[in-house]
Structure 1
Amino acid sequence: MAHTAIDLFCGAGGLSAGLEMAGFSVLAGNDMFDAAGETFTRTHEGAKFIPGPIQDLSVERLMEVSGLKRGELTVLVGGPPCQAYSVYNHQRGMHDARATLFREYLRIVEGLQPEWIVMENVAGIYSIGGGEAVHAIKTEMRALGYDVKEKVLRAEEYGVPQERRRVVFIGNRIGAPISHPAPTHGEGLLPFVTIADAIGDLPILANGEDPGPVAYACPPQSEFQRLLREGLELVTNHAAPRLGKANMDRLAHIPAGGSWRDIPHDLLPAGMKRAKRSDHTKRYGRMKWDGLSCTVLTKCDIHWGAFIHPEQERAISVREAARIQSFPDAFEFSGSKTDQYIQVGNAVPPLLGKAIGEHLLFCINNHAKNRAA
């Protein structure tokens, strides 16, 4: 019997894609972002997308869609919206309504009674109220009969070409030992996947150019590219945002690996003219071919991060951001360009999801063997 999953706050389905790579059958996803739902529907053929806020989602609807009874689901996964927890939100705190959405997730847990649960969020969740959010999540999971452990996972240690930290909660109600996947990349392991490995085969773009589906620039140059291309001949969503003249003038002064510090003082935005040289280390950053990306955000805005192409005078395209998140090229993102960047930036990197899924299967199988012995 296939191991099954349902994905809450699923977005475009990055975590679902990773679970499917690992061997899970994803039966349903829920999100209130319509454009993400269109992407999810097109890229997860075996899953039913249920639109709307989680507050309106009933356990009965999930059982109807999945064909499962209470207690039959293998794993319920979800990443409640992270804005209230993120270090980028200076007003974050448990008073923010978004910080209590995990209780809606737990309502579904209580109704479905999955064997396993997985929740992920940004590392900033640790700093709310001295750890109040983390403590509340674990306490409420345990009250429902789930043993839970959480750990910060680094996406780059699982083959994702970016520095990205996520807190992953794993729990179960079946008494199985809980652990997290061991890193596969890094010192003494496989080498990190670089920007060149990730996007070096994509066509040259001008600032603001949107060519539509377009042929790759060359055959795959890395195992990562072979994996994500899956034999496709055309690449979609390879569209660059249009930067204004002031930003284009700034780009001309920034070398690979450089940042706002390389821009002449008179060309800096007014607010940055007063900044300390030690501040805002990623702003107006240009990527390096042999390096990792900074964390992909919901806006690949060069004013906020290192989102300038290593060589070309432009910001990275939607597809380049998706590659850096480890999305297969078969994912065609729906909606406006803004919608597409949001879907990519909000996602769990599929290869991180795959590592979590494979480790869950290892834990499940080990527990079954031990019970049978």
Structure 2
Amino acid sequence: MDNKKFKVASLFSGCGGLDLGFIQSSFEVVWANDFFREAVETYKQNIGDHIILGDITKIPSNEIPDHFDILLGGFPCQGFSIANIKRSMKDERNFLYKEMLRIIKDKRPKYFLAENVKGLLSMQKGKVIEMIINDFQSLGYDVDYRLLKASDYGVPQHRERVVIIGNRLGLKNPFPKKSHGNDEELLPFVSTKEAVGFLSKARIRDKSFILNGQRIFNHKARTNVHDKFWGRKHQVNQHDICDYLKYWRAKSGWSTKRVDEHFGYAHTAGHWFRKDNNSGSIPNPSDWWELKKILGFDDKYDQQVTELELKPITFEQSLRINNWSTPSDTITATGPEIHPNRERRMSVRECALLQTFPMDFEFIGSLGNQYKQIGNAVPVLMAHKIAEEIKKELQLHDQQANRKTRIEVLK
């Protein structure tokens, strides 16, 4: 019985981090789906051809196999992310989890596992996670969720993710126990240097190569460590600008509230007329020119406020330098951290290792797409540890069912 392979279907599979963790725990993925073409190509090359490229909202349930044991789904997180200050329940990406609801309702798997970003817990002051849990429970599933930190499970990365597990069998919704940390009874965290230090002096390149007898794929990286941003060319004193704008606002008869309403802001304009506790701000160039239209001020500060130039972001400003001695910060889908040598960004291979992908897992697509695939993935090792706990519950359920069947036969 312990050799039985439980079956998995997977939504929003990406390049396969979550699926691979379950495969490493002897689950069989019978069907997977994603809309990201390069991620699907990567998945096919490394995991299997059972992944379907397409929009899940356009795939009817009858095209998905029946009788799988668990449904996985790292539903898209862009709208939920705490990095997205405009996140809202109106963002249609936030409701793709309802495709999971549809498949669960139609296929009735024994378990489901959903994964998302930490920001999901605080969105709409907790109303979003409450809504999602209630929706899953309405299908007849016992549901639990936790915020898990990948580094607690041996992943060399301080990545936090919300994991939601549900089942309809009356079993536990198991979460793995912490194995790593700073407590004496735990193993020490795995550091960035332990995971990728051996690549630090290897030249980045597009083609694979042999290092210490092992083939290395995707050791390529962005080299723009001195990123630039548009900043004001001239020194500007916010208090002087504030006094100037307050004078012209009073002269024009416009109230702060009316200015806010004109720009469509909630409170932003109020900060243009405030200098207490250093909470004030200076309008950006486009807002400055619009203010000039409605308040009618002169040309005194036009040049100082509106002339911009490209300025370098220093390492300290970017706060994105990896630290050798600790687990990495979260590997993101947009831009990898600067390597500790400060000569380049972390390579695709280094990011993949920090996400605990195997060394021979090769990523397909442009450099930016490869970074995106890795940043969107679930760390393979964390997925594996969750899968092991769920497998134990499923095996226990089967053993109890078989025992009950034998008793019935003997009667």
TM-score range relative to shorter protein = 0.7 to 0.9
What are the superposed Cα offsets for residues 107-143 of structure 1, whole Å, 9 maximum, x if unpaired?
1111111110000001100111121221111111111
What are the superposed Cα offsets for residues 193-240 of structure 1, whole Å, 9 maximum, x if unpaired?
11121112226355xx42410122x47xxxxxxxxxxxxx21110001
CA distance in 1, matches of 2:117, 2:96: 14
Aligned ranges 1:42-121 → 2 under 5 Å:
42-45=45-48, 48-63=50-65, 69=66, 72-121=67-116
CA distance in 2, matches of 1:3, 1:282: 48
The code of the aligned residue for 2:388 comes to E
How far has the Cα of 1:16 moved from its partner? 0.6
CA distance in 2, matches of 1:82, 1:165: 13
Which residue of the other structure, out of 362, 379, 382, is the alignment partner of 1:349?
379
Distance 1:201 1:244, change over 3 A: closer
- Are 1:205 and 1:312, in contact at CA under 8 Å, matched by a contact in 2? no
- Are 1:205 and 1:240, in contact at CA under 8 Å, matched by a contact in 2? no
The root-mean-square deviation of aligned C-alpha atoms, in Å, is 2.3
What are the superposed Cα offsets for residues 299-336 of structure 1, whole Å, 9 maximum, x if unpaired?
234xxxxx121235111100001011111122111110
Q: Which has the larger radius of gyration?
A: 2
Gaps of 5+ in 2: 229-308, 405-411
CA distance in 1, matches of 2:26, 2:106: 25
Distance 1:297 1:269, change over 3 A: farther
User: Which SS does the other structure have where 1:134 is aligned?
Assistant: helix
User: Which SS does the other structure have where 1:293 is aligned?
Assistant: coil
User: Which SS does the other structure have where 2:224 is aligned?
Assistant: coil
CA distance in 2, matches of 1:363, 1:126: 27
The code of the aligned residue for 1:283 comes to S
Q: Which residue of 1 aligns with 2:285?
A: none
Aligned ranges 1:1-373 → 2 under 5 Å:
1-45=4-48, 48-63=50-65, 69=66, 72-186=67-181, 187=183, 188-202=185-199, 204-205=201-202, 209-216=204-211, 218=212, 233-243=214-224, 270=311, 283-301=318-336, 307-311=337-341, 313-370=343-400, 372=403
- Are 2:321 and 2:342, in contact at CA under 8 Å, matched by a contact in 1? no
CA distance in 1, matches of 2:98, 2:226: 46
CA distance in 1, matches of 2:226, 2:164: 45
User: Which SS does the other structure have where 2:190 is aligned?
Assistant: coil
CA distance in 1, matches of 2:87, 2:323: 32
Task: Calculate percent identity across the aligned residue pairs.
Answer: 35
- Are 1:300 and 1:316, in contact at CA under 8 Å, matched by a contact in 2? no
How far has the Cα of 1:287 moved from its partner? 2.1
Distance 1:59 1:214, change over 3 A: same
The code of the aligned residue for 1:56 comes to K
User: Which SS does the other structure have where 1:182 is aligned?
Assistant: coil
- Are 2:69 and 2:109, in contact at CA under 8 Å, matched by a contact in 1? yes
* 4+ residue segments displaced more than 4 Å: 244-247, 268-273
The code of the aligned residue for 2:349 comes to R
Distance 1:39 1:313, change over 3 A: same
CA distance in 2, matches of 1:363, 1:191: 28
User: Which SS does the other structure have where 1:200 is aligned?
Assistant: helix
CA distance in 2, matches of 1:149, 1:244: 42
- TM-score normalised to structure 1 length: 0.80
User: Which SS does the other structure have where 1:201 is aligned?
Assistant: helix
CA distance in 1, matches of 2:153, 2:392: 16
The code of the aligned residue for 2:354 comes to I
